[in-house]
Amino acid sequence: MDATQPTLGIDLNRLLWERLAGDLGTIFDAHGVCAASSLAIATTADTMTLVAISDTDQNHFDVWICDSDGKIEQDRWPGDEPAFSRIMESSGPNLYEKVEAPHKERLQSDLWILASESVLAVPLPFPMAPGQITPPGAICLVDPPKSCPVDKRSVGPIAIQVSAFLERALLRQRSDQQEVEFGIISEISTSLTSTLHLEEIIVQVTDAVRRVLGAESLTIGLTEPNRSEIVFVEALMGPAFNDMPPVSFQIGQGIAGWVALHGEPAIVNDAYADHRFSSKVDRDTGFLTNSVLCVPLKIEQRVIGVLEAINKHNGRFDENDSRLLQAMSGPLAIAIENALLHSDVLAEKRRIETIFTSMSDGLMTTNVRGTITATNEALLTLLGAENSELSGKTVTTTIKTQPDNFSVFFEQVLHGDHELPQLAGDLLHKNGDYVPVLISGTTINKEDGSVDEMIFVFSDLNQIREVERMRDDFFNNIVHELRTPLATILMYARLLREGKAIDDPARANRFLGVIERESDRLQKMVRQMLQLAKLESDAHQRQSETTNINHLFEQIVPPLADRAREKGLVFLEVVQPRLPDVKGSEDTLYMIIKNLIENGIKFTPTGSVSVEAWLQDKFVRVEVADEGIGIPKEALPNLFQRFYRTRSAVERGIAGTGLGLYMVKEGLEINGGTIDVTSQEGKGTRFTVNLPVAENTIQAS
């Protein structure tokens, strides 16, 4: 019997060796290798065998326990299983006797519940080799009989074989996972190139990558070019950040700031233990950051932002995760940069289009052959033409001037003969009239300096002359207005001194009354001029004052109502009580409302003048309406221009400077207010003013 024992042992060991090679050869996952090995060893050696392997973070062991009949069970044991600790610290196979095990280990160990006497155990991987990726584990034969063919000597080579298969399975698992990850990356990269919308890019990337990484959140921070800051894209921050101002870090501050500054990735598995981590965002939101993986978004060597994964669900962020995120960051950075450039280009295009269409001067672009590529509304008006009559036509057939030298001018501009080429002449309108214009032209050059397009500006000299006429009118007007009261004052003063009026108290009183009234008028005009100068200088400063509108009406309305009634007019006032304060200084608002009511009274010979004020949305709306002389339709566009007075007002000899409404509009614009006018000649006029309610009043109400 003694002689056959070792032979049987050797045969069984060879058999086991072959079974392991055969069974494990086709198994490519680590758990499968554990299960198959425990089955092979237990049934060949006729002894309960368990094979255990820990998870990557060593939080627990997955254990496969197979009894000698081949009945296999899987269990999960805690990562600090005491008997395993001793086995794994050992350098090789050992027979562990239960009686010799430390008391505490015996009580707390799952292994000693299974074994009643001894355990033959070998650590996995065995032997430990540098760079091995297999996590710690063990092969244990429970209560092996003395005759067990697998003994302390033969269990070592078996463990070596199992370790090799485990390593192979884990490598395969890792490469399979990488294949999946890089598959996702290449899919995302391809789809990134198909969109230029930042939001779409972000949605496409973040969810897929977050899931592959197994992270709680994935965010993108973009560097603000002028403020040396990283601002996180709000849409990605999750519900904890809904009511928060955008999260931002100075470059160099926090982990994201560190990554942006150094242009290198950071793997931080215990955020609070890392000196770079800033806990401010956690404190503000109640979010708890445990682990962070942050990589820079780079275009060549320039960091345009960071991609940050937070809180890995199972385990720790590792080099593999970092590689994955970095692989993603390249195409993502390019897509973001393209999207930002695209939106910049769109914004620039819109800006230029707005300038082009809203210019009061006529504008036209052409190519070098003189084909018209674009025109604005003002030019169409000057020519009396439709866009379709000009677009795609040549300038020589469409732009007719007197003298007929536009084509010569075109060539001058094209060849850059003069520094600032200009042509003064008359432009032919479709109706046969000629409009005096000043035409300027310039070339738009390509990068290589050759001419790409040309742009021509047509200034309507009629308009310029009109402005000049208005300015001259104003000065004449002012001089006239100043001269008339001065002459009257002078005349009455002389009459008083030279004549006998001084001895006649009644006449003297009358003369002094005239002098007083004319001085008042003079004073008012000078005051208005000063007010205007002040308003124009104030317009450059930010206005922060607010005004109580009810109080203002109490001051303004009574004397004006008296004046209206003295003139025989009906005066109506409907002001909503307790209106909120509005933006703007009291002086400016006083001037605005007083001017409108005064005009109403001044331009209404008979009938009524009314003023109403009420709250509408975030504005106090004030309406001043009268049944006066009205304003001719053609005068309405010019009404708010400086010095403008309607001919009808001048002809009726109604005194004024044409400055009031200009000041009203200026005063409103400083504070974000608006004014509208509707009028019918001979029927009356209605001015509608919207005054923005002051911010603090909106919050309080």
- Residues lying near ligand ADP in the complex (CB under 6 A) are found at 595, 599-600, 603, 626, 628-631, 639, 644-646, 649, 656-662, 685
- Say if residue 125 is preceded by a cis peptide, omega within 30 of 0: yes
Instruction: Give me the least distance between CB of 655 and ligand ADP, in Å please.
Output: 7
Strands 608-616 and 570-575: parallel
Closer residue to ligand ADP, CB minimum distance, 312 or 665 = 665
CA distances, 649 to each of 604, 630, 652, 660, 678 (Å): 11, 10, 5, 14, 17
- Chain-centre distance of CA 19, in angstroms? 65
- Range 248-257 burial, b when 16+ CB lie within 10 A, else e: bbebebbbbb
Instruction: Give me the least distance between CB of 568 and ligand ADP, in Å please.
Output: 17
- Residue pair 543/579 in contact (Cβ under 8 Å)? The answer is no
Closer residue to ligand ADP, CB minimum distance, 247 or 625 = 625
Closer residue to ligand ADP, CB minimum distance, 459 or 595 = 595
Closer residue to ligand ADP, CB minimum distance, 94 or 641 = 641
Instruction: Give me the least distance between CB of 517 and ligand ADP, in Å please.
Output: 18
Please name every residue paired with 674 in a beta bridge, in sequence order, or none if there are none: 690
Query: Cα–Cα distance between 338 and 327 in angstroms, integer?
Result: 18
- Chain-centre distance of CA 288, in angstroms? 26
Query: Cα–Cα distance between 221 and 238 in angstroms, integer?
Result: 14
* SS3 state of residue 500: coil
Instruction: Give me the least distance between CB of 545 and ligand ADP, in Å please.
Output: 24
Closer residue to ligand ADP, CB minimum distance, 230 or 622 = 622
Instruction: Give me the least distance between CB of 626 and ligand ADP, in Å please.
Output: 5
Query: Cα–Cα distance between 661 and 633 in angstroms, integer?
Result: 17
Instruction: Give me the least distance between CB of 609 and ligand ADP, in Å please.
Output: 9
Query: Cα–Cα distance between 395 and 674 in angstroms, integer?
Result: 41
Query: Cα–Cα distance between 659 and 662 in angstroms, integer?
Result: 5
Instruction: Give me the least distance between CB of 481 and ligand ADP, in Å please.
Output: 10
Closer residue to ligand ADP, CB minimum distance, 65 or 664 = 664
CA distances, 191 to each of 49, 216, 339, 394 (Å): 51, 24, 14, 44
Instruction: Supply the angle between the helices 155-192 and 4-24 in degrees, to the nearest 10.
Output: 0
Instruction: Give me the least distance between CB of 505 and ligand ADP, in Å please.
Output: 36
Query: Cα–Cα distance between 418 and 420 in angstroms, integer?
Result: 6
Closer residue to ligand ADP, CB minimum distance, 55 or 612 = 612
Instruction: Give me the least distance between CB of 254 and ligand ADP, in Å please.
Output: 58
CA distances, 395 to each of 353, 372, 427, 632, 643 (Å): 21, 6, 13, 38, 38
Give the list of residues 6+ apart from residue 543 with CB closer than 8 angstroms, or none: 583, 584, 585, 670, 671
Q: In terms of Cα–Cα distance, which of 538, 539, 519 is closest to 527?
A: 519
Instruction: Give me the least distance between CB of 529 and ligand ADP, in Å please.
Output: 12
Closer residue to ligand ADP, CB minimum distance, 310 or 639 = 639
Instruction: Give me the least distance between CB of 554 and ligand ADP, in Å please.
Output: 23
CA distances, 255 to each of 269, 308, 313, 314, 328 (Å): 12, 9, 20, 21, 19
Closer residue to ligand ADP, CB minimum distance, 399 or 624 = 624
Instruction: Give me the least distance between CB of 641 and ligand ADP, in Å please.
Output: 9
Question: What number of H helices and E strands is found in the chain?
Answer: 21, 25
Query: Cα–Cα distance between 87 and 112 in angstroms, integer?
Result: 13
Closer residue to ligand ADP, CB minimum distance, 64 or 644 = 644
- Range 405-438 burial, b when 16+ CB lie within 10 A, else e: ebeebbebbbeeeeeebebebebbeeeeeebbbe
Closer residue to ligand ADP, CB minimum distance, 349 or 633 = 633
Instruction: Give me the least distance between CB of 603 and ligand ADP, in Å please.
Output: 3
Instruction: Give me the least distance between CB of 466 and ligand ADP, in Å please.
Output: 16
Run of H or E including 82: helix 82-89
Q: How many CB atoms lie within 10 A of CB 558?
A: 11
Instruction: Give me the least distance between CB of 574 and ligand ADP, in Å please.
Output: 18
Query: Cα–Cα distance between 87 and 58 in angstroms, integer?
Result: 15
Long-range CB pairs of 378-381 (<8 Å, 24+ gap) are 378/458, 378/460, 379/458
Closer residue to ligand ADP, CB minimum distance, 415 or 469 = 469
Closer residue to ligand ADP, CB minimum distance, 220 or 601 = 601
Closer residue to ligand ADP, CB minimum distance, 181 or 626 = 626
Closer residue to ligand ADP, CB minimum distance, 229 or 666 = 666
Structure tokens at 398: 């469409």
DSSP classification of residue 467:
H
Closer residue to ligand ADP, CB minimum distance, 136 or 684 = 684
Instruction: Give me the least distance between CB of 474 and ligand ADP, in Å please.
Output: 11
Q: Backbone phi, then psi, for 152, in 5-degree steps?
A: -55, -30
Query: Cα–Cα distance between 512 and 369 in angstroms, integer?
Result: 76
Closer residue to ligand ADP, CB minimum distance, 584 or 656 = 656
Structure tokens at 8: 């049987």
Instruction: Give me the least distance between CB of 224 and ligand ADP, in Å please.
Output: 46
Strand order through the sheet with 684-692: 570-575, 608-616, 619-626, 684-692, 674-680
Run of H or E including 124: strand 118-124
Task: Tell me the H-state helices in 263-363.
Answer: 280-285, 319-358
Closer residue to ligand ADP, CB minimum distance, 221 or 628 = 628
